[in-house]
Structure 1
Amino acid sequence: MAGVLAGCGGSGDSGDVTLKLVAADYGDSAANSSKKYWDRLSKAFEDENPGIKVDVTVLSWNDVDREVKEMVKKGDAPDLAQIGAYADYAAQGKLYEADELLSIATQADFMAPLSQAGEVKRIQYGMPFASSTRLLFYNTKLFKDANLTPPQSWSQLQSAAKALKARGVKIPYALPLGPEEAPAETLMWMLSGGGGYTDNVGSYDIDSKQNAKTFSWLRDELVGKGLTGPKAPGRMNRAEAFAAFSRGEVGMLNGHPTLMKMASKKGVKFGMVPAPGINGKPRATMGVADWMMAFKQNGHRKEAGKFLDFVYSKKNVLEFSNEYDILPVTTSAFDAMAKDRGHTELGKFLKELPTSQLYPVGKTSWAQVSADIKNNIGKTVTRNGNPSMVLGQIQSKAAAAENAE
């Protein structure tokens, strides 16, 4: 693999430039691998831009971040990488700024929450490539049998969970705070309680009063009342929760668009609503994004910028989003998808995107803080758990890591 990816530069004496791109695979089989998308896009770009070739390597999500990290470490950075995180490379001075690459029109077209999440110290290095939001999924058959309507507040969610438990539902509400994706479930609940990972100026605020109140409520009113199933939330992972929902064993859980396909394949009928807040719909839901970045090493700023302007055209963003049931990252593609698919199931996720809040991915400390959350957040909701203390410990480490940036 290293031999394939290494060595970027011009091709012989022709004066041509070959851009090396490493991208993540969004497909779940060879039949719908992202490689097919990139091959089509690269050929169309090369036809319009003689003198610039694009060499694309597509790797699974299990490997792509690690492979790019190894390439950079060896001094063989690709020109472009479409992976999960950018902040470490930006902090090391290895990336071009977005405004060094993109036309003004392209940069201005990014959805505001996603563009801001791509900034380090107010300069954008990470270009959002794919995005998603979360909704509350509920099993419509279980709800109908219990004569329930979708919850809009925490108290309604608890009442629904109690009714489902009384009818023998194995997991009334799935609360995956296990290490796989605990930061996501954590942020969704923090936002629904009026808190979040950061304060208004972007500093970590993990142990805020709102967050402590949120996890105290979860401990006492959901987990403590036996409404989250037989397995401790700190040991339940998202994949396990999704699989249980797809078997019809879960009444409610927070999910992303992938769960629609999983549940439909298994014949589980479901509905989706915005995640309930403490007293109604929260002001923001959680959003996530994957990132595109351009490395300085090979000096192909102009060529990389030209290719990225092509990548982020409305047509190409829409094609990728529609292919993989993910949300577009540009306003032009968002408007087009909203017009075309606003009344579909994916349209429900789309509506949440403009007010979504993302992880603080612009902080180089976030990877360390995220790992700490994965390891410890489940302790807040155990029988003798102390949310204020656990959140305080996570905050203390986060603040120290942030100060070291």
Structure 2
Amino acid sequence: MAVQRRYLSLAAAGLTTAMTLSLSACGGSADGGDVTLKLVAADYGDTEANSSQHYWDKLVKDFEKQNPNIKVEVSVYSWKDVDKKVEDMVKSGKAPDMAQIGAYADYAAAGKLYSADQLLSIPVHADFVPALAEAGEYQRIQYGMPFGASTRRLFYNKKLFAEAGIANPPQTWADIAADAAKLKAKGVKMPYALPLGPEETQAETLMWMLSGGGSYTDSIGKYTIDSPQNVKTFEWLKKDLVGPGLTGTDPAKLNRQDAFNAFAAGDVGMLNGHPTLMKQAEAKGIDYGTVELPGPSGKAKATMGVADWMTAFKQNGHRDQVGKFLDFVYNEKNVMDFSGEYGLLPVTTSGSQAMLANSKYAKLHSFLGQLAQAEFYPANKTSWPMVSKTVKAKMGTAVGANGNPAGVLSDIQNAANEADNAGQ
């Protein structure tokens, strides 16, 4: 059930890029004049002190020292606002030169973006982790350049497990249910936190789909939301986890960040999480462990990967200068600085190798080891934003007391097919 996988050697990637660049060579500015580039970026920090604005300010200062004719203005917005901000700028005819956002397919389909091989030097373009490079493709051309990446693992509270007499973390769905029952008997508020609230339902949904052998799409990109595997997965959640009260709260009302906060407060036994949760849990003194996502009869065949995207708009015509800046953005030092600061995975092969070789990042190694085989949202489909919104609105109800997993999945499938056929 590969969704967005690529098994393409870096040499092949470099050859393709070289052929493209030979036809559209990137060079210096034709007029040699000063250019000011505008970048809109998302904020990965959770306080003003660690706002992404600080990262960009330092990077831009270093870049401008080396390139005095190119100025870069960076505006940082919260993840809640950044996609809409860029959408409004584009609609008003004032597209930024670059935008670091959550999706790219709509802009690529409208012909508004430069492709990666029109911008980046051959070594930089070939250095992207292959699975991430393919996840950034629209109609087999890469327009989305991965910027931040993460994978998912199951987190568990070691203290709560010990108090409940649980010796080992769960390996199967049956283990999850049995362990959650023991945690509940010990008075744990949320034995298994299942955040299917509106914040990030599409992520938790995909993790469970993959865990059950399904996904949002098949290997050729066709939506398979109501597949037998997915129906079976959510029927199990409803009957074996939510029904017996092992989630401790209504999943439809639990948001991802609230679940993370509860884990950091010591009120959650288990949940699916990404690397950011490690720092949050450690700050509150939680002794935790992580394992690969369990499946029906053993570990899941795949985990979810998430990438955010750097895009470059054609409107202002600054291709050469944007390419020079992005080459700088993606050098190993800058990639590592960003990944280290925000607990994310490097999006380049060189960065990944550097992280694996550094014991400072030992806790990220298990997440990084999953990246090459991770499966991603179908972000290359222009219908995905609408499908994601539909999942957020409906999926939580599927596992409730009066839920109907097959019916909800069928409704979402029908909406997805309609959007796909309309070319949305």
TM-score, structure 2 normalization: 0.89
Q: Which residue of 1 aligns with 2:224?
A: 205
Which residues of 2 match residues 24-63 of structure 1 at below 5 A?
A: 24-63=42-81
Pairing 1:119–2:137 present: yes
SS in 2 for 1:252: strand
Q: Which residue of 2 aligns with 1:364?
A: 382
Contact 1:342 1:348 in 2 (8 A): no
Contact 2:355 2:361 in 1 (8 A): no
| CA deviation after TM superposition for structure 1 residue 335, in Å | 0.9
Q: Deviations over 1:4-34 (max 9, x none)?
A: xxxxxxx9x9711111111112222232222
Cα gap change, 1:34 to 1:401, in 2 (>3 Å): same
Contact 1:134 1:349 in 2 (8 A): yes
Q: Deviations over 1:95-119 (max 9, x none)?
A: 1111111122212211122111111
**Matched residue type, 1:264:** E
Q: Distance in 1 between matches of 2:421 and 2:359?
A: 44
The answer to which of 234-243 and 192-201 deviates more is 234-243
Q: Which of the numbers 125, 150, 170 marks the counterpart of 1:151?
A: 170
SS in 2 for 1:131: strand
SS in 2 for 1:82: strand
Pairing 1:128–2:149 present: no
Q: Which residue of 1 aligns with 2:397?
A: 379
The answer to which of 53-62 and 301-310 deviates more is 53-62
**Matched residue type, 2:261:** A
Q: Distance in 1 between matches of 2:49 and 2:405?
A: 46
Contact 1:117 1:358 in 2 (8 A): yes
| CA deviation after TM superposition for structure 1 residue 46, in Å | 2.0
| CA deviation after TM superposition for structure 1 residue 139, in Å | 0.8
Which residues of 2 match residues 2-401 of structure 1 at below 5 A?
A: 15-148=33-166, 149-229=168-248, 231-341=249-359, 344-401=362-419
Contact 2:276 2:342 in 1 (8 A): no
Q: Distance in 1 between matches of 2:363 and 2:340?
A: 13
Q: Distance in 2 between matches of 1:287 and 1:357?
A: 5
The answer to which of 52-61 and 291-300 deviates more is 52-61
**Matched residue type, 1:154:** W
TM-score, structure 1 normalization: 0.94
**Matched residue type, 1:24:** A
Q: Distance in 2 between matches of 1:168 and 1:151?
A: 19
The answer to which of 130-139 and 344-353 deviates more is 344-353
CA RMSD in angstroms comes to 1.6
Q: Distance in 2 between matches of 1:354 and 1:77?
A: 33
The answer to which of 146-155 and 29-38 deviates more is 29-38
SS in 2 for 1:364: coil
Q: Distance in 1 between matches of 2:160 and 2:139?
A: 48
Q: Distance in 2 between matches of 1:241 and 1:320?
A: 25
**Matched residue type, 2:204:** E
Q: Any gaps of 5 or more consecutive residues in structure 1?
A: 1-10
